[in-house]
Amino acid sequence: MDDATRALLRLWDVTDDAVAGLHDADWARSLAPSGAPAAVASAMLDTGGTDVASLVAHLTGVHYAGPDRLREALAAAHERAERSVLTCAPSGRVLQAQCLDMCLHAHDLYEALGLELDPDAAAPAAVAACRLVSGFVPRLLLHTGDPTACLRLVVRDGPDGAVVIDRVVRVGEGAAAATAEVDADAEAFLLLLTGRRGARELAEAGRVLWRGRTAESLVGV
């Protein structure tokens, strides 16, 4: 089992743990709204609803149920995910998409509950998710207004971590060498592109750097 698959199951663990400790009032806690660019949101994301109960219902496929039933359904979904990995582990884009889904849902749940998600629990899954998300960057660059945009994208496995993605993205014929750059850790890049964190907030935390007009347009400053 590779690191990304282990991290995917770890995210199920932390989600299950958080839901197991919910009080009655916690189910109605609101999820923070996402200001994701339309190209990202429409292509990849289902936020799972507007509150904790609807997010858990989304993860389980069980709707119109009370807390006890949702807890049972989440435990069953968790068990199915583990059994699926043991019998036929996901790979490629399937694994990347599952990692993206669970990274964002775990983040949203912990954010709504005021809890801190252990970055080590999500890091390998976030890296796998970024390999998928980076494929959407050319589409986002089309919205920068530069018909020949060129950007170097650097993604790390954690703040000040090792580089795991280093690619130059060009849009349009005649794009010059990259004069713009975005450098971010994997989780920060996901939170940025899906509107869960702003670029300046992440920059102040030392998790995102950028230079060049094209990069500014991409990160939304």
Per-residue pLDDT of 132-180, as tens digits, reads 999 888 888 877 666 778 899 999 998 889 999 999 988 876 656 667 9
Looking at the fold, whether 89 and 146 belong to one and the same domain comes out as no
Q: In terms of residue numbers, what domain contains 124? A: 3-130
Looking at the fold, whether 114 and 160 belong to one and the same domain comes out as no
Residue type at position 146? D
Looking at the fold, whether 118 and 192 belong to one and the same domain comes out as no
Residue type at position 50? T
Among candidate residues 92, 111, 130, the one where a domain is terminated: 130
CATH code assigned at 146: 3.30.1050.10
The structural domain count of the chain equals 2
CA proximity to 71, closest of 115, 15, 4, 116: 15
Looking at the fold, whether 126 and 139 belong to one and the same domain comes out as no
- The set of long-range contacts for 203-211, using a CB threshold of 8 Å and a minimum separation of 24, is 205/159, 206/159, 206/160, 207/159, 208/182, 208/183, 208/184, 209/181, 209/182, 209/183, 209/184, 210/180, 210/181, 210/182, 210/183, 211/180, 211/181
Per cent of the chain over pLDDT 90 is 58
Looking at the fold, whether 20 and 105 belong to one and the same domain comes out as yes
Flag whether the pTM goes above 0.85: yes
pLDDT tens per residue across span 40-91: 544 455 566 789 999 999 999 898 889 999 999 999 999 999 998 888 888 8
Among candidate residues 130, 152, 173, the one where a domain is terminated: 130
Q: Residue 117 — very low, low, confident or very high, per pLDDT cuts 50/70/90?
A: confident
pLDDT value for 160: 86
Looking at the fold, whether 41 and 125 belong to one and the same domain comes out as yes
Among candidate residues 130, 163, 180, the one where a domain is terminated: 130
pLDDT value for 43: 47
pLDDT value for 164: 95
Looking at the fold, whether 193 and 95 belong to one and the same domain comes out as no
Per-residue CA distances from 79 to 66, 75, 83, 154 (Å): 20, 6, 6, 35
Looking at the fold, whether 119 and 147 belong to one and the same domain comes out as no
